[in-house]
C-alpha cells in the first residue's frame, strides 16, 4: 500500500559560490554552477498528506494558514509537479515549520522546498533517487536542489534546455570537514524588500557586470572544490569572500540598484577585516539580505564571538557545522 502521509526535515544551505540569475526562469535553470554547505542547526520540517477526500491544496507555515500569495502559489506548483511525475491526482495538506526567521537572507526557501519535495514524493509513493529529487526541488526554488544533499554540494548548471542535467551533487559529506563552522549573524530579521527571484531577473537584464560575473564564477567554482577537499580554510574562505563581493557588485550595479546591505552589515565587514589583519583565519559571505555569515574553524569560534561582543546590533547568532541532507522522519506535524 502506498503511504499517504510523510514528513521530511531539510536544512538550509549557504552558498560559497553563489547562484544569482537564471537562463530559464520557469524551470529555474541557473546561469552558473554554485557550491554550498548545508547547515546542521537550522531546519524546516514539513508533513505532506495526499488524500482523495481533499477538495483543494492547503498549506500552513509556522502555525499560520497561508490563503493566497506567491508562497502558496509556489507550493501548489511544486505539488502539481509531483502529481504530474507520479501520475496521481489528489490534493494535499501541507504543514511546515522553520526554526529560523523567513526571508532574512537565511535561505529559508532552500530548506523549505527540499523538505516539501522529499515529503511530497514519499507521501505520494513516488520512489526516485536524490538526483531526481534535486531536479524537482530546483523547480520549487533553485537553491533547494542543494539542500537535498548534506555536507558540501555542487549544483551543476547543466546545458540542456529541459533542465534534466541541472541538479545537485555531493562534493563531500558532512563528516568530511568536522571543524568547519559557519556563524550566522542576524542583524535584521525583517523580510527583505526585493526577493531573490525578482532581484535575479533585474540583475540579468540590467547589470553591465553580469557577463563578467558568469566568467569569474566558473573559475571560482573550479578552484574552490579542490580547496574544500583539502580542507584549506584560508583559500576556501578567500574565494568565497571574493565570489560574494562580486555577486553584490552585480546587485549594486543593477537597475534599479539592489542594495541588500544595511549600515550594520558594513560595520561587521569592517570588524571582520580588522580580525583578519590581526591574524584570525575567518571569512565572510552575504546573501540577498543584510545578514553576515562567518566561515571559520571551530577553534576560533569563541575568539570571534568575543570580538563581536561590542556589536550590540547583532540580534542573534547561530553557530552551525556542515549538516545532513534532507531526510524522512517518523514524527508528523499533524
Task: Name the segment binding ligand 2P0 (CB under 6 A); options: 45-53, 140-148, 311-319, 325-333.
Answer: 140-148
- 179 versus 198: smaller Cβ distance to ligand 2P0: 198
* Least gap, CB of 71 to ligand 2P0 (angstroms): 11
Cα–Cα dist 161/29, whole Å = 9
Which residue carries 568536522 as its cell? 178
Q: Which helix (H) or strand (E) holds 8?
A: strand 5-10
In this structure, is the dihedral angle defined by the CA atoms of residues 37, 200, 208 and 157, taken in order, positive or negative?
positive
Report if residue 246 touches ligand 2P0, rule: CB under 6 A: no
**CA-based angle 105:257:318, to the nearest 5?**
15
- Counting residues that bind ligand 2P0 (by CB under 6 A) gives 15
- 122 versus 143: smaller Cβ distance to ligand 2P0: 143
Cα–Cα dist 330/191, whole Å = 32
Considering only residues 280 through 309, tell me which ones interact with ligand 2P0, judged by CB under 6 A. Answer: 287-288
Query: In the set 8, 9, 27, 28, which binds ligand 2P0 (CB under 6 A)?
Result: 28
Site string for ligand 2P0, 33-62 (x = CB under 6 A): -x----------------------------
Considering only residues 150 through 169, tell me which ones interact with ligand 2P0, judged by CB under 6 A. Answer: none
- Cite the DSSP H helix spans in 66-195: 69-86, 108-124, 130-140, 144-147
Q: What is the dihedral of CA 98, 25, 55, 49, to 10 degrees?
A: -40
Binding residues for ligand 2P0 (CB under 6 A): 15, 18-20, 28, 34, 107, 109, 141-143, 196-197, 287-288
Amino acid at each position: 500500500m502506498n503511504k499517504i502521509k510523510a514528513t521530511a526535515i531539510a536544512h538550509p544551505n549557504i552558498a560559497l559560490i553563489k547562484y544569482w540569475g537564471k537562463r530559464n526562469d520557469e524551470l529555474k535553470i541557473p546561469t552558473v554552477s554554485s557550491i554550498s554547505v548545508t547547515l546542521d542547526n537550522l531546519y524546516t520540517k514539513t508533513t505532506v498528506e495526499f488524500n482523495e477526500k481533499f477538495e483543494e491544496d492547503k498549506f500552513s507555515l509556522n502555525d499560520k494558514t497561508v490563503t493566497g500569495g506567491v508562497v502558496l502559489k509556489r507550493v501548489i506548483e511544486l505539488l502539481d509537479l509531483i502529481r504530474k511525475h507520479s501520475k496521481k491526482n489528489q490534493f494535499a495538506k501541507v504543514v511546515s515549520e522553520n526554526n529560523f526567521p523567513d526571508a532574512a537572507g537565511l535561505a529559508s526557501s532552500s530548506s523549505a522546498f527540499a523538505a516539501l519535495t522529499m515529503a511530497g514524493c514519499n507521501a505520494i509513493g513516488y520512489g526516485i533517487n536524490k538526483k531526481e529529487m534535486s531536479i524537482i526541488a530546483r523547480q520549487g526554488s533553485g537553491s533547494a536542489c542543494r539542500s537535498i544533499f548534506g555536507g558540501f554540494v555542487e549544483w551543476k548548471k547543466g546545458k540542456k534546455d529541459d533542465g534534466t542535467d541541472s541538479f545537485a551533487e555531493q562534493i563531500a559529506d558532512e563528516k568530511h570537514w568536522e571543524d568547519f563552522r559557519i556563524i550566522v549573524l542576524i542583524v535584521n530579521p525583517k523580510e527583505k524588500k526585493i526577493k531573490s527571484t525578482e532581484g535575479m531577473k533585474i540583475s540579468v537584464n540590467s547589470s553591465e557586470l553580469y557577463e563578467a560575473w558568469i566568467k569569474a564564477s566558473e573559475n571560482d567554482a573550479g578552484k574552490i572544490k579542490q580547496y574544500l577537499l583539502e580542507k584549506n580554510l584560508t583559500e576556501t574562505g578567500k574565494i568565497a569572500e571574493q565570489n560574494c563581493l562580486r555577486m553584490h557588485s552585480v546587485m549594486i550595479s543593477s537597475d534599479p540598484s539592489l542594495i541588500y546591505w544595511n549600515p550594520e552589515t558594513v560595520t561587521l565587514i569592517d570588524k571582520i577585516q580588522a580580525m583578519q589583519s590581526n591574524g584570525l583565519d575567518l571569512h565572510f559571505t552575504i546573501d540577498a539580505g543584510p545578514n553576515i555569515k562567518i566561515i571559520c574553524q571551530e577553534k576560533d569560534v569563541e575568539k570571534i564571538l568575543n570580538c563581536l561582543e561590542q556589536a550590540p546590533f547583532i540580534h542573534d547568532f547561530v553557530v552551525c557545522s556542515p549538516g545532513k541532507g534532507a531526510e524522512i522522519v517518523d514524527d508528523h506535524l499533524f
